[in-house]
């Protein structure tokens, strides 16, 4: 069953563009290997993420 998980998290400190880019690149690789799609947004220490995929896989991520 396809599910969508949406959540917000807060970074302990301000992150550089390079740090955010590294997280994004790692997420792309990990998610693609698990057949998960979604998006990642960052603003003022807040991350907004949406993941879509099979329930079991999304719940393990």
Tens digits of residue pLDDT in 3-25: 999 999 999 999 999 999 999 99
Q: What is the 3-state secondary structure (H, E, C) of 6-52?
A: EEEEECCCCCCHHHHHHHHHHHHHHHHHCCCEEEEEEECCEEEEEEE
Q: List the chain domain ranges.
A: 2-60
Tell me the pLDDT band of 38, cut-offs 50, 70 and 90: very high
What's the predicted TM-score (pTM) here? 0.81
Please provide residue 58's backbone torsions phi and psi, each rounded to the nearest 5 degrees.
Answer: -60, -40
User: In CATH, what number does 2-60 get?
Assistant: 3.30.70.100
> How many CB atoms neighbour CB 5 within 10 A?
15
């Amino acid at each position: 069953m396809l599910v969508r998980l949406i959540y917000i998290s807060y970074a302990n400190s301000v992150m550089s563009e390079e740090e955010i880019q590294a997280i994004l690149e790692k997420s792309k690789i990990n998610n693609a290997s698990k057949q998960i799609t979604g998006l990642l947004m960052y603003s003022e220490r807040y991350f907004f993420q949406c993941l879509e995929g099979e329930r079991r896989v999304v719940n393990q991520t």
